[in-house]
Homo-oligomer: A and B are copies of this chain.
Amino acid sequence: MTSPAKFRKDKEIVAEYETQVKEIRAQLVEQFKCLDQQCELRVQLLQDLQDFFRKKAEVEMDYSRNLEKLSERFLTKTRSTKDHQLKKEQSVLSPVNCWNLLLSQVKRESRDHATLSDLYLNNIIPRFAQVSEDSGRLFKKSKEVGVQLQEDLMKVLNELYAVMKTYHMYNTDSINSENKLKDAEKQEEKQMGRSGRQDDRQTPRSPDTLASIKTEEKHVRRSSVKKIEKMKEKRQAKYTENKLKAIKARNEYLLALEATNSCVFKYYIHDLSDIIDCCDLGYHASLHRALRTYLSAEMNVEASKHSGLEGLEGAAESLEPNGDKQRLMETYNNVFCPPMRFDFQSHMGDTMGLVCAQQPLEGELLQRCQQLQSRLSTLKIENEEVKKTMEATLSTIQDMVTVEDYEVSECFHHSNSMESVKSTMSQSFLSKPSLAKRRANQQETEHSCPAVALSFCLLFCYN
């Protein structure tokens, strides 16, 4: 038997267990605190989302109303134009068509943003409200279950505590009864040793006294041995009983230990995860649907806008002077149609409707014809020159007015810093130095152009 100082005291073991259980209890409390916080944050987030979309619905409605006002302002102006004929005539021209499409586009955007606002209010916000409600309800229910599970766990831990203490108690009992048994065995041993020694000692006493003493002693000794034996038996029985109890208690302790560890494992590894899963049940999916609704709405606004812009793009590509000129001339046909040819009006029955080139006029006419032909050749050469200059001028102007300077994507390159946006923006259309120079060139170039263009056909003129 080793020294008791080597064994940890019951108190130490119990105190250690109590500390362990206290720590677990504290963790369990923290777990709910943490889940409570997550739930609060979730409720807050869903509230923020609702507030956000409520405010954004206002912003979109505002935008929609402003766009509506903007388009109405100009559409009313067009509608109120009293000259219906003029309105009709104008609408066939390609720039007017672009203008009308531009106003339609604004009207369309106005409607789309109103729809967006409506979807925020009547679809997306109710979704978030619902998610919030569902989350709260599920959290409450999950927490109830969690509380039950924690109580179950605590019960198990308390049971282990009790079982452990029982084991300690029964083991103490067993040790005590073992010690008592050992004491009895020692006494028996002592008793056995003493009677042996007394028999061996053979002290010099009278045989009678000796005999009577011996008989008396024998009687006492026998009853003492019997007593000790009886006690030993009793203690043996007690020890056996207590030993069994202790073993049983240890078995219970060992089984409880396994069960407790399994329960703790189950709670930490499965239950906690399940509680969180139950709190989350449908949360992500519902949030996903709400966000997808938002995305669908925005993407549809975008697609609608895009389709409108494509229409406008088509109209811009159809901006074409020749078609418009044709339409203008057709519309004002009475103003632009050439008059009847002037016919020869014979005078007083003058039947000759042709140039008479007989003698003596022939020579003169021939001479005049030659003069005209020579003038014509000169004009032709001059006109070729003029034509070349004009074509070059026109080509220059054409290049100027068709320069593809309309790509503004550089203004929309989002760098990570928001400051740099400003710098791209401030670069305005007219502030570009190259452009100012080009403008000056253009005016100079076009200066001569109409005169050149119109003088070009003077060939036909009679000199």
Contacts of A312 in B (CB 8 A): 291, 295
- What would be 10 A-B contacts, judged by CB atoms less than 8 Å apart? A48-B99, A59-B63, A137-B446, A146-B454, A248-B361, A260-B342, A262-B461, A281-B449, A293-B405, A302-B302
* Residues 109-161 of A at the B interface (beta carbon under 8 Å): 111-112, 114-115, 118-119, 121-124, 126-127, 130, 134, 137-138, 141-142, 145-146, 148-149, 152, 156, 160
Contacts of A73 in B (CB 8 A): 55
A401 touches B453 (CB 8 A): no
Query: What CA separation (Å) do A63 and B108 show in the bound complex?
Result: 17
Known contacts A299-B309, A347-B171, A461-B266; is A281 also within 8 Å of B446 by CB? yes
Cβ of A276 < 8 Å from any Cβ of B?
yes
Contacts of A411 in B (CB 8 A): 115, 118-119, 297, 300
The residue from B98, B102, B332, B338 contacting A34, defined by CB atoms under 8 A apart = B332
Cβ of A225 < 8 Å from any Cβ of B?
no
CB distance from A136 to the nearest CB of B (A): 12
CB distance from A456 to the nearest CB of B (A): 8
Known contacts A251-B361, A257-B344, A287-B319; is A264 also within 8 Å of B336 by CB? no
Cβ of A376 < 8 Å from any Cβ of B?
no
A339 touches B20 (CB 8 A): yes
Query: In the complex, what residue of chain B is closest to A108 when comparing beta carbons?
Result: B414
Cβ of A349 < 8 Å from any Cβ of B?
yes
Cβ of A306 < 8 Å from any Cβ of B?
yes
* Residues 236-288 of A at the B interface (beta carbon under 8 Å): 244, 246-248, 250-251, 253-266, 268-278, 280-288
Cβ of A180 < 8 Å from any Cβ of B?
no
Against B, the Cβ 8 Å flags (1 = close, 0 = not) of A325-338 are 10011001011111
Query: What CA separation (Å) do A248 and B362 show in the bound complex?
Result: 11
Contacts of A338 in B (CB 8 A): 264-265, 268-269
Give chain A's interface residue range (CB within 8 Å of chain B). 35 or more
Known contacts A10-B347, A99-B48, A282-B401; is A425 also within 8 Å of B115 by CB? yes
Contacts of A4 in B (CB 8 A): 348
The residue from B41, B271, B350, B431 contacting A250, defined by CB atoms under 8 A apart = B350
A462 touches B260 (CB 8 A): yes
Against B, the Cβ 8 Å flags (1 = close, 0 = not) of A350-371 are 1011111000110001000000
The residue from B62, B99, B156, B402 contacting A285, defined by CB atoms under 8 A apart = B402
CB distance from A459 to the nearest CB of B (A): 8
* Complex copy number for this chain: 2
Query: What CA separation (Å) do A298 and B119 show in the bound complex?
Result: 23
CB distance from A457 to the nearest CB of B (A): 5
Query: What CA separation (Å) do A406 and B299 show in the bound complex?
Result: 12
Against B, the Cβ 8 Å flags (1 = close, 0 = not) of A183-218 are 000000000000000000000000000000000000
Query: What CA separation (Å) do A130 and B320 show in the bound complex?
Result: 19
Against B, the Cβ 8 Å flags (1 = close, 0 = not) of A164-192 are 10011001100100000000000000000
A288 touches B49 (CB 8 A): no
Cβ of A67 < 8 Å from any Cβ of B?
yes
Contacts of A293 in B (CB 8 A): 405-406, 408, 429
Known contacts A119-B411, A171-B350, A461-B156; is A145 also within 8 Å of B451 by CB? yes
Query: What CA separation (Å) do A259 and B462 show in the bound complex?
Result: 5
Cβ of A88 < 8 Å from any Cβ of B?
no
The residue from B41, B288, B348, B356 contacting A319, defined by CB atoms under 8 A apart = B288
Cβ of A11 < 8 Å from any Cβ of B?
no
Query: In the complex, what residue of chain B is closest to A405 when comparing beta carbons?
Result: B289
B457 touches A112 (CB 8 A): no
Contacts of A320 in B (CB 8 A): 284
Cβ of A437 < 8 Å from any Cβ of B?
no
Cβ of A313 < 8 Å from any Cβ of B?
yes
A303 touches B460 (CB 8 A): no
Cβ of A430 < 8 Å from any Cβ of B?
yes
Cβ of A397 < 8 Å from any Cβ of B?
yes
